[in-house]
Structure 1
Amino acid sequence: MQKVWLITGASSGLGRQLVELALERGERVAAVVRRPHALDELQQRYGNRLTVETFDIRNTERVQQTINSVATAWGKIDVLVNNAGYVLRGAAEEVSDAQIERQFAVNLLAPIQVTRCILPLMRKQRGGRIVQISSMGGQAAFPSASVYHAAKWGLEGFTDALRQEVAPFGIQLTIVEPGGMRTSFSSNAVHAEPIDAYEQTTVGLFRRRIQHAGAASDPGDPRKVAQAIVASMDADIAPERLVLGADAYDVIRRALAQRLATLEAQQEVAHSTSLDR
């Protein structure tokens, strides 16, 4: 059965790959972009199976209007992919208030609001899939990206709780945690003004390592990542998490192992704080 997708951040990179693959499968796609004409080629190729909306994903009113118009035109929305986002690089002390607010607005508040906008429709449909594009940075953390990590960890916590809230309505959620991919994601990063005191710390070392490596060193193939996401739609039970990329697997496994070891070492003290009976 033909599915209807709504994909944000669809101008390029992973978002565009998802649009292309869904269309190749014969699906209908509503793509949200910020750059006019970004998908003109696909529009010409696929005609009325692709509708493109151009606006800032922080505009919740436009989000709701788009969801309503797509549902009216095509009768349903089966899959929402919250893909729009970017990375803010800088130590917590280096980033500005405005940079923090925008990072949270785009990477956390926007996907929460888009998700909330679509829930009444999916609840009425008695089903739907919501895909939250997180990152290996939603399970592990690196210096010089503290605010980015805060947003991604927040999105994952929101999704884990929401999954339990909407399960009775047949709505399923998947958190996708990719590693580095050969896209413009790194080159589109926003950088805080450096503070000299951090240059010989882990912040400066990590910053230089990223600058030296560049996006060309990222091991992930965005099309293969998109293929894995699209393939997961065919499963009756959606995966709660989808780790994509050898780097993501290694980083997340190491982070989880360290957290589990820390937890287990605290078993005695944890139990010691219970009330005496």
Structure 2
Amino acid sequence: MDSQKLSVESAGTVNMARDSSLAGKTVLVTGGASGLGAALCQVLSASGARVVVADLKLEKAAAVADSLRGDAQAEAIALDVGDPQAAEQAVNDIVGRFGRLDVLVNNAGTDVTLSMEELSVADWNRVINTNLNGPFLLAKYASEKMRRAGGGHIINIASTAAKRAWPNASAYHASKWGLLGLSHAMHAELRPHNIKVTAVIAGGMRTPFLLDRFPDIDVSTLQDPANVAKAVKSVLLLPEETVISEIMVLPMKESSWP
């Protein structure tokens, strides 16, 4: 593999020269094994960050981490973000191993595309647990470490589903609207401790999350997940005195936003 370029198949093709803008930073990306998560790992690693790829599927997370190694340092861990003990242990292990956790990216997400009538209580709980409880748990434990270290940055990946609604996605909408509110509450609470919090409203992307469930979707209305990852990087590179609490990143032909 060309040492100046990286590629993660599941995130699309992203070619970029390495830089050192995030050198020395330790970043945890949840749901990092595919889609936007893999693109985030790639973009942030190519900027010099040490990336911890967390996912329910350890083998796939390890494959992403392996693809990032070379000049960069990357590790893979298995993580159920909605498990309180596992979330706390993951944060403790990362800080114990690397001495710091500078950036948490709450990206892991799931959905069950069914009407309220068809949606089981178990499916409702699973979506809420992954998409809303998980970010709360990881932010709770990560922010404790960040406070002691003097600062940090938490990125919460939301969706246009946090701004408007469509049928057969009640659990997903509830979780993403909740995550957006939670993110702004974190922003208000953690600012005095020099911890930045950013909610990313991501429009439709060419990822398995959409393509596997909606094979007939018009891909021309979707964006490369790498573009959203680059927007996240730009937020992380803002001057110390500035924070973006919410950013919306849409494809030019966005179909779920006016």
Q: TM-score if structure 2 supplies the norm length?
A: 0.83
Q: Could you report, residue by residue, the CA deviation over 1:1-21 in whole angstroms, capped at 9, with x for unpaired residues? A: 521101100001110011111
Asked if the contact 2:29–2:52 (Cα under 8 Å) also holds between the matched residues in 1, the reply is yes
Equivalence for 2:195: 171
Change over 3 Å in CA distance of 1:152–1:41 after alignment to 2: closer
SS at match of 1:7: strand
Using the TM superposition, give the Cα deviation of residue 148 of structure 1 relative to its aligned residue in structure 2, in angstroms. Answer: 0.9
Contiguous gaps of at least 5 residues in structure 1? 190-209, 255-277
For the pair shown, the structure with the greater C-alpha radius of gyration is 1
Q: Report the CA distance between 1:248 and its aligned residue.
A: 8.8
Contact 1:179/1:247, CA 8 A, preserved across alignment: no
Deviates more, 1:157-166 or 1:32-41: 32-41
Say whether the 8 Å CA contact 1:184–1:215 is kept in structure 2. no
Tell me whether 1:43 sits opposite 2:48 in the alignment: no
Q: Is the 8 A contact 1:187 1:215 kept in 2?
A: no
Pairing 1:23-62 to 2, within 5 Å after superposition: 23-38=45-60, 39-40=62-63, 42-43=65-66, 45-46=68-69, 49-62=73-86
Tell me if structure 2 keeps the 8 A contact 1:132–1:175. yes
What does the per-residue CA deviation read over 1:74-112, in whole Å, with 9 as the maximum and x for residues that have no partner?
Answer: 221111000000222122222111111111111111111
Query: CA 1:131–1:45 in 2, change beyond 3 Å: closer, same or farther?
Result: closer
| 1:239 paired residue among 236, 239, 244 | 244
Residue 250 and residue 33 in structure 1: after superposition, are their counterparts in 2 closer, same or farther (change >3 A)? closer
Counterpart CA distance in 1 for 2:254 and 2:180 is: 17
Q: Which residue of 2 aligns with 1:6?
A: 28
1:94 paired residue number: 118
- C-alpha separation in 1, matches of 2:143 and 2:184: 15
**1:121-161 superposed Cα distances (whole Å, 9 cap, x missing partner):** 01111211000000011111112212210110111111111
Q: Shift in Å at residue 34 of structure 1?
A: 1.9
Q: TM-score, normalised by structure 1?
A: 0.77
Distance 1:101 1:42 in 2: 30
Contact 1:183–1:215, Cα closer than 8 Å, also in 2: no
Q: Any conservation in 2 of the 1:138–1:156 contact (CA below 8 Å)?
A: yes
Aligned equivalent of 2:88: 64
Letter in 2 for 1:46: R
Alpha-carbon shift at residue 46 of structure 1 (Å): 1.3
Cα deviation, residue 214, structure 1: 2.3
Tell me what 1:224 maps to: 227
Q: Compared with structure 1, are the counterparts of its residues 226 and 105 closer, same or farther at alpha carbon in structure 2 (3 Å cutoff)?
A: same
Q: Please state how far the C-alpha of 1:43 moved relative to its aligned partner.
A: 2.1
Give the structure with the larger helix fraction.
1
Aligned Cα root-mean-square deviation (Å): 2.1
Note if contact 1:186-1:215 (Cα within 8 Å) is conserved in structure 2: no
Report how many residues are paired. Answer: 232
SS of 2:58's equivalent in the other structure is coil
1:113: how far off? 0.9
Does 2:114 correspond to 1:109? Answer: no
Deviation digits for residues 149-208 of structure 1 (CA, Å, limit 9, x no counterpart): 01101111111112111111001111011111000012455xxxxxxxxxxxxxxxxxxx
Match status 1:121 vs 2:145: yes
Q: Which shifted more, 135-144 or 217-226? A: 217-226
